[in-house]
Amino acid sequence: MKFPYGVSDFYKLITEGYFYVDRTDRIPLIEGMGDQLLFLRPRRFGKSLFLSMLENYYDVAKADQFEQLFGGLAIGRNPTPRRNQYFVMRWDFSTVAAYGDANEITQALYRHVNSRIQDFAAYYQHLLPRPIEIYPTDAVASFQSALTAVRQTPYKLYLLIDEYDNFANELAMDGQPTGKQRYDALLRGEGTLKTLFKAVKAAASGFGLDRVFITGVSPIVLSDLTSGYNVSEMITLQPEFNDLCGFHEAEIAATLRQIAAACGWAEAQAAEALEMVRTFYNGYRFTTATAAERVYNPTLALYFFKHFQRTCSYPENMLDSNLAMDRGKIAHIASLPGGGQVILDAVNGAPALAVSALADRFGVEDMLTAVKDAPFMASFLYYFGVLTFGGRTPTGELILSIPNLVTRKLYIERIQDLLLPDRHVLDKGRQTARVLWQTGDLQPLCDFIEQRYYTVFDNRDYHWVNELTVKTTFLTLLFNDIAYIMDSEPALERTYADLVMIVRPEMRQYQLLDILLEFKYVSLKEAELTGAAARALSAAAVAELPQIKAKLAEAQETLPGYRARLLARYGARLRLRTYAVVSLGFERLVWKAV
């Protein structure tokens, strides 16, 4: 199979026989939703390819190629009357530079729009009765000239705008006063971008423009456009479009079976490959309908497919470097007041990170100056694909959760930066983690946490400390998705202990142990101790505290059941070590192998 990693040209995919997951059956639904639509998805989620498909479907100049392009797809068996009935123009704002002053950004935007209009004029010259004038300093005038030419034909224009918010998001995230000034110059008053969208709005009122389909990541720009463009309908959360750009698990499984068979793998190994992909990549849900199937990020899936087919092995680094840029969005939230707590809450997952409704109208003023509450920050992370819909609370609030293991890695890296910013100290902590992986000795890791990690917390943190916080402390040091399937509670339906580390199948040839940890917490108040008094106790004295002994016994009682379920799931191949760990405040640790 030819996997189109990084290819977003529909024509190339179909004519050159690339792998393609068919979503053309949604075209009639999209036509019925309205004339001007906005569809938001995280970056690298297949939006550009979808626009390219629409471009080829509606392009009047490709009418004689319809059977070649769509004959084997769902829409080819039942096309709509609008097929091949439009001039199609496409703008891609991801190519517009966000640097320089407002005038330079304006010129970059105008250059892009003018270049697309020039391409449009050249491509359709055999169908247009008059030439299109290009105004180098006024792309709006160029657009109006194109519309004048279109109106003299039997056809109308379909405008596709890709990543409408890309360069504006860069400015909004700038964080500097100059960034806001440049953004305001584009969107406030008669700003350039606002003027351009006003022209689009006006063109749809009988001046040659019939339909508009816009993609982007967030609603930030839409909010600031206000009256400049208030006619689009957002279809982002509609249940029927949940999988518009994502892959179903059945599609993933069928592809993996084909690759595994070509590699000579047994059926059980193909099932193992699916388990790997499910744990690392599955989990996105873009509708509040709780029954909706979770979908896979197509870029991540194609990255895995291509490597798997080429090498008959899994990628060592399951996080595609092209998506690692998303850590910047997590870092942005972590830098805001209260943002670090949102990041910790997302990783802990209990209590659930819940919002009454997703914020869908916030502008750059909100991004740069307004006080950010947890729902605002969580909504921001949702739009950028590092949180997703995870169900509802008993009171009906929306739960936002980390979708999968590769995304969890981005959070863990940020927590490491928050709590252990000294890389030398972090490296020392990782060395103690290696001792646990290789020998099963937990003591060096506990010593490090007591001596170097717990010292970063102070009394103001104690109001939210519990065993989940202790788990996060260990997780930041133990996290290793190169060798392990880490923190696999979601995949295991949360029926196992607090922290599970299962050695990845291809890493079982090495001397690595599977790890199972259960955490408990005793506050200093419960133990009737001050921090100084707790630190002064010997290890043996801490272990003899009644509250510690009770919690340790509680953890020990639950671990055999967890162990049995893991062994039943993974079999005798596990080299499983289980541990009960009790934290006394953020001062001391007691552990026991079970």
HEC states along 213-226?
EEEECCCHHHHHHH
d(CA 402, CA 111): 39
Which two structure tokens, joined as six digits, stand for 236? 């982002």
When pLDDT is averaged across residues 343-364 and rounded to a whole number, the result is 80
Side chain identity at residue 588, one-letter code: R
Query: Out of 377-391, 423-437, 493-507, which region has the weakest mean confidence (pLDDT)?
Result: 493-507
pLDDT in tens, 70-121: 999 999 999 999 999 999 999 999 888 877 777 888 899 999 999 999 999 9
Burial of 463 from C-beta contacts in 10 A (0-12 / 13-18 / 19+): exposed
Which two structure tokens, joined as six digits, stand for 60? 């009047």
Q: Does the pLDDT at position 404 exceed 50?
A: yes
168-to-8, 217, 223 alpha-carbon distances in Å: 22, 11, 12
**DSSP letters spanning 493-539:** TT-S-SEEEEE-GGGTTSS--EEEEEEEEE-HHHHT--HHHHHHS-H
CB-CB contact of 38 with 233 (8 Å): yes
pLDDT in tens, 193-218: 888 999 999 999 989 999 999 999 98
Burial of 272 from C-beta contacts in 10 A (0-12 / 13-18 / 19+): middle
Strands 354-355 and 295-296: unpaired
pLDDT at res. 496 = 62
State residue 38 phi and psi, 5-degree precision.
Answer: -120, 130
d(CA 389, CA 549): 39
d(CA 572, CA 559): 17
State residue 157 phi and psi, 5-degree precision.
Answer: -100, 140
pLDDT at res. 260 = 96
Share of the chain above pLDDT 90, in %: 63
**DSSP letters spanning 344-371:** HHHHH-SS--EESS------HHHHHTSP
Structure confidence at residue 460 as a pLDDT band (50, 70, 90): very low
Which two structure tokens, joined as six digits, stand for 355? 């919002």
CB-CB contact of 577 with 515 (8 Å): yes
Mean of the per-residue pLDDT values of the chain: 89
Query: Out of 386-400, 439-453, 457-471, which region has the weakest mean confidence (pLDDT)?
Result: 457-471
pLDDT at res. 110 = 94
In DSSP terms, which residues pair with 531 in a beta bridge? none
pLDDT in tens, 526-582: 999 998 999 999 999 999 999 999 999 999 999 998 898 888 888 888 999 999 999
Is 138 or 335 the better-scoring residue by pLDDT?
138
Which two structure tokens, joined as six digits, stand for 366? 């909100």
Closest CA to 436 of 448, 423, 425: 448
d(CA 53, CA 75): 11
Strands 209-216 and 36-40: parallel
Q: Does the pLDDT at position 45 exceed 50?
A: yes
When pLDDT is averaged across residues 175-185 and rounded to a whole number, the result is 67
pLDDT at res. 465 = 59
State residue 316 phi and psi, 5-degree precision.
Answer: -65, -45
pLDDT at res. 457 = 66
Structure confidence at residue 174 as a pLDDT band (50, 70, 90): low
Structure confidence at residue 421 as a pLDDT band (50, 70, 90): confident
Domain spans, the chain:
29-62+83-217, 249-318, 421-594
pTM above threshold 0.85: yes
3-state helix, strand, coil in the chain (%, to 5): 55, 15, 35
Which two structure tokens, joined as six digits, stand for 283? 């989990």
pLDDT at res. 490 = 42
When pLDDT is averaged across residues 357-385 and rounded to a whole number, the result is 76
Report the residue count for the chain. Answer: 594
Which two structure tokens, joined as six digits, stand for 52? 């390219």
d(CA 209, CA 194): 18
382-to-46, 106, 280 alpha-carbon distances in Å: 17, 30, 18
Q: What does CATH list as the number for 29-62+83-217?
A: 3.40.50
pLDDT at res. 176 = 63
When pLDDT is averaged across residues 275-299 and rounded to a whole number, the result is 92
pLDDT at res. 188 = 66
pLDDT at res. 453 = 85
pLDDT in tens, 484-527: 998 655 444 456 678 999 999 999 999 999 999 999 999 999 99
pLDDT at res. 274 = 94
d(CA 204, CA 212): 9
**Within 10 Å of residue 563's Cβ, how many Cβ atoms?**
18
Structure confidence at residue 367 as a pLDDT band (50, 70, 90): low
